[in-house]
Amino acid sequence: MTGLSGSLVLRRDSFTLEVSLAVEPCQTLAVIGPNGSGKSTLIAVLAGLLPLTGGSLRHGATVLDDPGAQVFLPAEDRGFALVPQDGLLFPHLTVVANVAFGLRHREGHRGDRHGGRRGRADRERRALAALSALDLADLAERRPSELSGGQAQRVAVARALALEAPVLLLDEPLSNIDVDNRQAIRKLLRTERPVDQIQVVVTHGREHALDADLVLAIEHGRALALAEPRALAADPPARWVDDLFHR
Amino acid sequence: MTTSDSERTTPTPAIDAASGEPRDGRQTRPPRRRIARPAAVPRPVIAVAVAGVLVLLVPLLALLLDAPWSTLGSLLFTGETLTAIRVSLVVSLSAVILSVVFGVPTAFVLARIEFPAKPLVRTIVTVPLVLPPVVTGVALLSGFGRRGLLGSLTGWGLSASTTGAVLAATLVAMPFLVLSVEGALRTTDPRYEQLAASLGARPLARWWRVSLPLARPSILAGAILAWARALGEFGATITFAGNIEGVTRTLPLDVSIALESDPDRAVALSLLMLTVALAVLVGLRDRWVPRR
pLDDT tens across A59-117, in order?
Answer: 998 999 999 999 999 999 999 999 998 889 999 999 999 999 988 887 654 444 444 55
Chain B neighbours among A 86-105 (CB < 8 Å)? 88, 90-93, 101-102, 105
CA B39 to chain centre: 34
Give me the pLDDT at residue B277, please: 86
Q: Find the mean pLDDT for residues B62-68.
A: 88
> Does the beta-carbon distance from A159 to B199 stay under 8 Å?
yes
Give me the pLDDT at residue A170, please: 93
Q: Are A8 and A19 in contact (CB under 8 A)?
A: yes
> Does the beta-carbon distance from A49 to B198 stay under 8 Å?
yes
CA distance B237 to chain A (A): 39
Q: Find the mean pLDDT for residues B268-281.
A: 88
> Does the beta-carbon distance from B199 to A108 stay under 8 Å?
no
Give me the pLDDT at residue B8, please: 42
User: B83 phi and psi, to 5 degrees?
Assistant: -65, -45
Q: What percent of chain B has pLDDT over 90?
A: 58
Of chain B, the end-to-end C-alpha distance in Å amounts to 15
A75, A91, A93: residue with CB nearest B198: A75
Residue B281: inside a domain: no
Q: B151 falls in which pLDDT band (50, 70, 90)?
A: confident
Candidate from A136-145, B9-18, B236-245, B283-292 with smallest mean pLDDT: B9-18
Q: How far is CA B159 from CA B56, B162, B165, in A?
A: 35, 8, 8
Helix axes A149-161, A116-133, angle to 10 degrees: 120
CA distance B13 to chain A (A): 22
* Mean pLDDT, chain B, whole residue set: 84
Q: A171 falls in which pLDDT band (50, 70, 90)?
A: very high
Predicted-complex ipTM score: 0.87
CATH number at residue B192: 1.10.3720.10
Q: A118 falls in which pLDDT band (50, 70, 90)?
A: low
Say if B191 is an interface residue toward chain A (CB within 8 Å).
Answer: yes
Give me the pLDDT at residue A173, please: 87
- Any idea what DSSP says for residue B22? B
Residue B67: inside a domain: no
> Does the beta-carbon distance from B198 to A81 stay under 8 Å?
yes
CA distance B103 to chain A (A): 22
> Does the beta-carbon distance from B205 to A47 stay under 8 Å?
no
Residue B25: inside a domain: no
A109: chain B residues, CB-CB within 8 Å: 200
Residue B48: inside a domain: no
CA B162 to chain centre: 22
Residue B17: inside a domain: no
Report d(CA A127, CA B85) in Å as an integer: 49
User: A227 phi and psi, to 5 degrees?
Assistant: -155, 170
Report d(CA B275, CA A220) in Å as an integer: 62
Give me the pLDDT at residue B38, please: 62
Q: Find the mean pLDDT for residues A24-37.
A: 91
Mutate to test the interface with A, among B199, B202, B214, B219 (most CBs of A within 10 A): B199
A44, A47, A90: residue with CB nearest B210: A90
CA distance A182 to chain B (A): 22
Chain B neighbours among A 187-226 (CB < 8 Å)? none
Q: Which residue has the higher pLDDT, B78 or A200?
A: A200
Q: Which residues pair with A211 in a beta bridge?
A: none
* Mean pLDDT, chain A, whole residue set: 87
Q: What percent of chain B has pLDDT over 70?
A: 84
Residue B211: inside a domain: yes
Q: Quick: pLDDT tens for B11-39.
A: 444 444 444 444 444 444 555 555 666 66
CA distance B192 to chain A (A): 7
- Chain A to chain B Cβ contacts (< 8 Å): 66
Mutate to test the interface with B, among A105, A163, A167, A171 (most CBs of B within 10 A): A105
B198: chain A residues, CB-CB within 8 Å: 47-49, 75-76, 78, 80-82, 84, 169
Give me the pLDDT at residue A109, please: 42
* Strand extents, DSSP E, A15-160: 15-23, 28-32, 54-59, 62-66, 71-72, 81-83
B190: chain A residues, CB-CB within 8 Å: none
Candidate from A115-124, B26-35, B128-137 with smallest mean pLDDT: B26-35
Whether the pLDDT of residue B68 is over 80: the answer is: yes
Chain A neighbours among B 201-230 (CB < 8 Å)? 201-202, 205, 209-210, 213-214, 216
CA distance A212 to chain B (A): 23
Q: Find the mean pLDDT for residues A175-188.
A: 83
Residue B30: inside a domain: no
Give me the pLDDT at residue B34, please: 58
Residue B243: inside a domain: yes
Give the domain range for residue B154: 87-249
Q: Which residue has the higher pLDDT, B286 or A33?
A: A33
> Does the beta-carbon distance from B198 to A106 stay under 8 Å?
no
Whether the pLDDT of residue B41 is over 70: the answer is: yes
Q: Which residue has the higher pLDDT, A59 or A180?
A: A59
Q: Quick: pLDDT tens for B186-231.
A: 988 889 999 999 998 999 999 999 999 999 989 999 999 999 999 9
User: B51 phi and psi, to 5 degrees?
Assistant: -60, -40
What domain count does chain B have? Answer: 1
> Does the beta-carbon distance from A105 to B199 stay under 8 Å?
yes
Give me the pLDDT at residue B14, please: 43
